[in-house]
Amino acid sequence: MTNLSVADIKAHTQYQLLDELGHKDLAPFCAKFYWHQRSWVTWAHYAFSVVIWVFWIEVGIQQKLAFSAWIKNFGYSVICFVDLVPIHEALHGAVYKVFGASDVRYNISLRQFYAYAIAHHFVADRREFTWVALTPFVVINSLLILAAAFWSPAQFFLLGVLLVHTAGTSGDFAMLNYLWLNRHQEVFTYDDAISHTSYFYARYKGQPKDS
């Protein structure tokens, strides 16, 4: 775990601000680093999504479902995903707490269709933030895949939930992609729940950047 505090980052010139992300701008930030500035991280997410689409369509064809059944099942999948959102965010928060965050908060933006967990004034390094971002994707999707594999009567529905949940993790993968694109630097991040802002800093060895 990092032992850095926000005061440490602000006090030392070797820490340089990379980006300041207002939470009201979360959707365009994620769109930028998911759709426009791509890397193997986003391509892997695209590929996984396509594989799930193919399996979902294949199962629907095998079961000879009527078009109305496809629409109905997909609608139920979306509803189930909405029910999973609190669990998804709780997993983000649980990992923050494992790493030592004491003040984890949750918020939702109906305007941007985003829910998110933030750890107020907890400084996370690249490794910690990667675990925070990945855990809900790994845990929930693994459970859905196992359930679909062993519960054939509900397979079509479960694959639909898996598809929608995977789409819902695009923001997490945008953040992971942001870290990857800045991999040549040692990146730290923290949230400020009062100003509704997340900060990303880089630590430079030797002389600070632009000094």
pLDDT of 185 strictly over 80: yes
Q: With respect to residue 104, please indicate whether it lies within any of the assigned structural domains.
A: yes
Domain of 52, in residue numbers? 27-203
The answer to whether residue 8 is domain-embedded is: no
Residue 69, domain member (yes or no): yes
Inside any domain, residue 10: no
Q: One-letter amino acid identity for 36? A: H
Contacts of 163 (CB under 8 A, 6+ apart): 49, 52, 53, 56, 77
Residue 210 lies in a domain: no
| Domain count across the chain | 1
Tokens of 62: 């095998």
Number of H helices, E strands in the chain: 7, 6
| pTM, full prediction | 0.92
Q: Are 10 and 200 in contact (CB under 8 A)?
A: no
* Each residue's pLDDT tens digit, 48-62: 999 999 999 999 999
Chain-centroid distance, C-alpha 164: 14
**Is 20 part of any domain?**
no
Per-residue pLDDT of 69-80, as tens digits, reads: 999 999 999 999
Residue 173, domain member (yes or no): yes
Structural domain contains residue 22: no
Share of the chain above pLDDT 70, in %: 96
Model confidence at 205, pLDDT cuts 50, 70, 90, reads: low
Phi, psi of 45 (to 5 degrees): -65, -40
Residue 113: pLDDT band (50, 70, 90) is confident
